[in-house]
A and B are shown apart, each in its own frame.
Chain A
């Protein structure tokens, strides 16, 4: 039978499930005490390929529940969800088994799935069975309402030793010869994504009879940073217009990613303030073009944004620096993802104020320091919390501002 290895080797029992032991315990406990539990739904979140879906299937099987699932490939508008899930939520299962309802990839519900999000929230209040949602990022603003109604369980990336161990098991079952170092290398490159590691192993095996370190190195890895570093190196070290432009030829990153890498590292590579200023002038202009593209959806302008960015920054230096610069991951992206969890709290908090005070979120943020004073003052604090139904995390956001 020609089955993908990722399907063929989905773990068959809890014992062979790799990683995230704590999360598993937490979920089992939650399912077993579901009737008494305050939360009628869990939201499992974590990077792709760490086992959120696998685990849900596995739990149903090993705890002897029936499993009903819907994923992003299904249309999930309000009506479709109703049709498919609502009956299941209310009815007893056949043969009097318990039931688990899995709504996979909830962050994949797009704008075409109109009303789907609200429907999910309604399902939580009506369900007679445990509901499991999965998502890559629980702090996606789209999920802010849902998140507050769920128990949230985080799935960590699978440790590379666990990944390597699973690869070894598969090799043994497929009777493949392998170099343990090669498996470790695959595991390392997968950075926590077990599914992609298994895919890599399978694609390697289809061309070779033995897995050696050498052939692993030939694999075209999902190694994002490698590409970017090379492009940066060319742009920062050349003074030729066309060479700088060519730097982006083999780049799989999108424009914004490259943009932020360059922006971050300009002042690290260039040492004269005049060079930095000139380079930033081009960075600024490239950014304007990106804004025009966004406003008008006119993607044919993208070439100008690229040229201003790459060639502009390249020719902004007087002489090329022969030094080695350790390029840095964009702070802005790091901070953004940190700030993202905060951002969704900010949005929900603002909308509560906004409704009561008849002003926009933008105005709320302008007066935020004033609201902080109100929340820190014992006389006004409780009134504010009660009137606006502020949640714990929103109160904390205000206090810490």
Chain B
């Protein structure tokens, strides 16, 4: 048994799933009638999309679930070849002791549009032996024709009560306690994302048995606010080269994600010691450069260019 809690406490059956009551009851009906349409699970991270897909397969197939279930993550394999080879190969063969197999395409909004096109025919052609469950953060990023072939399930953000329920379930099983402010901190940081909550809790429980707000903040961030602030302070005081070096360390040496850095910068803007009007200009620049990344720019280059703009901010 793997000791990573996100797996240890991942519900094994639909009955154990926390929240998403309406969706779960529809899925249970699928199990009962042994019929599943193509599905699209939409919703933010850590609210149960993968869990529901896995639990559905386990409930449906029992001990044979592994033979009848293929999971592939589109953010790692996003090209057309995944559809043409891996998915087709699996879809082609007969299911084991079941009316059909299930292919779970996680983060399917990351599939190239070419691959999504190829998926359309595949979904129809093999629908006798195979049903597709696609998951995504935003259903709008999945091509219309694919959406029209699926039953869309919108997963809601979990309420604080749901998150508390889940945290207490783990706390009881693992034998640690949380101070009230600790519990609040986990809830706040995870923002409904149970995977994040679980990881933070496990890390905190290694440090101490009584988890407080401070422990939670200590273990939660991979990008420290201090580091981001140092970069911004350098840039704003005109020290571009120094800012650029620090940014390179984060992005190349530590391989941090560009959009995460932009988000972190965004959080810091308000506490910077610059006039309020400048903050507004800052935000405008930030938005512009984030947009440039989505337009095809490379994150490290665009953020670097943003820093160059910031060096002039104090004087304009």
Contacts and interface: CB of A to CB of B under 8 A. Distances in A.
A24 interface: no
Nearest to B295: A288
Given A357-B6, A358-B54, A373-B206, A288 B76 contact: no
A177 B295 CA distance: 61
Interface string B230-270: 00000000101100100010001111110010000000000
A388 B255 CA distance: 22
Contact of A284 (B71, B200, B292): B292
Given A360-B107, A361-B75, A370-B199, A380 B3 contact: yes
Contacts of B222: 366-370
Contact of A294 (B196, B255, B296): B296
A379 to B, nearest CB: 8
A288 B195 contact: no
Given A358-B71, A362-B257, A332 B50 contact: no
Interface string B185-198: 00000000001100
Interface string A274-316: 1011011101110111111011000000000000000000000
A332 B252 contact: yes
Contacts of A356: 2, 4, 7
Given A280-B304, A339-B252, A359 B309 contact: no
B62 to A, nearest CB: 19
Contacts of A366: 222, 257, 260
A93 interface: no
B94 interface: no
B76 A361 contact: yes
Contacts of B254: 401
B296 A267 contact: no
Contacts of B238: 273
Contact of A384 (B3, B106, B203, B309): B3
Contacts of B74: 360
Interface in A312-361: 331-332, 335-336, 339, 343, 346, 351, 354, 356-361
Interface string A361-401: 11101111110011001011001100110000000000001
Contact of A267 (B3, B50, B241, B297): B241
A263 interface: yes
A284 B50 contact: no
A373 B71 contact: no
Contacts of A292: 295-296
B305 A336 contact: no
Most chain B CB within a 10 A radius of its CB, from A288, A343, A354: A288
Interface string B88-115: 0000000000000000001100100000
Contact of B76 (A280, A285, A343, A354): A354
A94 to B, nearest CB: 39
Contacts of B4: 356-357, 374, 384
Contacts of A287: 292, 297-298, 301-302, 305
B305 A283 contact: yes
Interface in B143-169: none
Interface in B62-79: 71, 73-76
Chain A interface: which size bin?
A: 35 or more
A362 B75 CA distance: 8
Contacts of A367: 195-196, 199, 222
B260 to A, nearest CB: 7
B257 A374 contact: no
A263 B304 CA distance: 10
A387 B1 CA distance: 8
A291 B260 CA distance: 20
Contacts of A274: 312
Interface in B23-74: 45, 50, 54, 71, 73-74
B129 interface: no
B132 interface: no
Contacts of A357: 4, 6-7
Contacts of B289: 284
Nearest to B112: A295
B298 A291 contact: yes
Contact of B248 (A283, A288, A291, A335): A335
A337 B195 CA distance: 34
B13 interface: no
A238 B202 CA distance: 59
Most chain B CB within a 10 A radius of its CB, from A279, A284, A292, A368: A284
B272 interface: no
B219 interface: yes
A341 to B, nearest CB: 12
B202 A370 contact: yes
A63 B195 CA distance: 59
B311 interface: yes
B174 to A, nearest CB: 12
B308 interface: yes
A281 B252 CA distance: 21
A365 B312 contact: no
A354 B73 contact: yes
A335 B253 contact: yes
A322 to B, nearest CB: 22
Contacts of B241: 267
A373 B3 contact: no
A28 to B, nearest CB: 38
Contacts of B301: 263, 283-284, 287
A267 B244 contact: yes
B312 A373 contact: no
A288 B199 contact: no
A145 B260 CA distance: 30
14 contacts: A267-B244, A277-B312, A281-B305, A287-B292, A288-B296, A360-B73, A360-B110, A362-B257, A369-B219, A369-B221, A373-B203, A379-B206, A380-B206, A401-B254
Closest 3 CB pairs of A and B: A291-B296, A280-B308, A284-B305
Interface of B: 2-4, 6-7, 45, 50, 54, 71, 73-76, 106-107, 110, 195-196, 199-200, 202-203, 206, 219, 221-222, 238, 240-241, 244, 248, 252-257, 260, 289, 292, 295-298, 300-302, 304-305, 308-309, 311-312, 315
Given A359-B106, A360-B106, A367-B196, 9 more contacts: A267-B241, A267-B244, A267-B308, A335-B248, A356-B2, A360-B76, A362-B257, A366-B257, A383-B2
